[in-house]
Structure 1
């Protein structure tokens, strides 16, 4: 199954969607082009919807038998997400990861896609429209950065270091209060605790050696499938905070993506000491 998937072509597809539907709208949105979904911090723009339509149309040509699961498609039809659990082949897409940044004119957003075969992520891609490059991985094949020129470079996570010297990315807003009670005091043990409001760029930083970990409590598949696979293929360790594997079937709980298994255990002990 994986041999029939041209991952480099998918990278080009994300690039085409960004150039056609996302970048022309960046810092060029009217009031009616930005809408709330569930709250003032959960937004959708015309760029999200147009890019997802573009990607869905092209995915239908590339893999006509695949289930297409886009963030905005699920917003319109929540039952679509349940179909991912049983799909033989699925493409999971976040057309604009970091929508709040995009809507606010902040140049920090990404386009993400993952390919799932029988409940297992076999490929992941994170495209940066402003840098015009894509980090990607195929299961068992390592992680790499693909430039628009076609040049490639291997990715590798950072060597272990004390958390007192480490950079970590964490969005505390989605963690339940019981976990926050332990998490927030633990952040003082970390040199830099950042939140880009864009999981795509947080995973890019981790997979390229720029941070030691990212931690999340909102486990929607379009936010994490690609980044989790890329992190692991770059040499990192990803698991839910109870130590169980993170999979495309997970929607609840919390997870840590770390530069190494050693870093994962250090983050777990520091931020989630009582979690099981």
Structure 2
């Protein structure tokens, strides 16, 4: 079993990584080293690379034989994602989710870690290395918000409401111009649409009930596995657009998180799919 104690050890490592590798590089007077991966909004920095390297080394030292699937490692070896379906124990890492915001000096980024056992996500955390706060969940045990001083509280998704009173977002960065226009128009039915270009913060907001829904077309495990478990353990419904559960290793199909099944159906039909 992977226990609360084990996840607390992972959180200790993530906190140290944030203190050592992320926060000292945030808002530096000298510009951090930035490399474009695929475009001007798909970036990698020293903080990404050094944080992932540190966490990979430390996790394997504590759990020898585990599989570590990091976003940056998968740039060179995409086949690592396939190991998530059968691995006895795997850790999925996004060292700095929201790198565009990080390099721009915006404190809207986080570190995502999901724990996967035999194709099922069993533990998750999202850590904010600026404020020191963390969302943490173990499958079947609920989700919690931890503060640096030790205070903590359970979290809960927003109450269902009509679409015109909802706040949410559907990420449109990875779809065609025509599809962007269609979905942006559909979002006008809501009270407010937002976009942070950061899955960590979007899942943070939807899992803590600050917004009602989020959706994405691009499915990479380091962006979604931790957030999906946190949202589900906070009482929400997250599924792929076709209604199937989102499983480790899947990278296609689109995903939607909502307060309950009725809300999920409504948002899918009126925002994601409506012409």
Query: What's the TM-score bracket when you normalise by the shorter of the two chains?
Result: over 0.9
Q: Does 218-227 or 85-94 show the bigger shift?
A: 85-94
TM-score by length of 2: 0.95
Cα offsets for 1:31-85 (capped at 9, x unmatched): 5710001111100000000011111111012211210000011112222222223
Q: Check whether the contact 1:211–1:259 (CA below 8 A) recurs between aligned residues.
A: no
Equivalent in the alignment of 1:162: 162
Q: Deviations over 1:83-122 (max 9, x none)?
A: 2233121100000000000011111110010000000000
Quote the residue 1:139 is aligned against: 139
**What is the TM-score normalised by the length of structure 1?**
0.94
CA distance in 1, matches of 2:233, 2:60: 27
Name the stretch that deviates more: 11-20 or 91-100.
11-20
- SS of the residue 2:121 aligns to: strand
Q: 1:134 to 1:32 in 2, by over 3 A?
A: closer
Flag the 1:4–1:212 CA change in 2: closer, same or farther, 3 A: closer
Equivalent position SS for 2:72: helix
Which residue is equivalent to 2:9?
9
Pair 1:266–1:9, CA change in 2 (3 A): same
* Corresponding pairs, count: 275
Alpha-carbon distance between aligned partners in 1 of 2:260 and 2:118, rounded to the nearest angstrom: 27
Gap runs ≥5 in structure 2? none
CA distance in 2, matches of 1:21, 1:70: 16
**SS of alignment partner, residue 37 of structure 2:** strand
Change (3 A) 1:94 1:21: same
- Taking the TM superposition and a 5 Å limit, the aligned residue runs for 1:186-205 are 186-205=186-205
- 1:42 correspondence with 2:39: no
Residue number in structure 1 paired with 2:89: 89
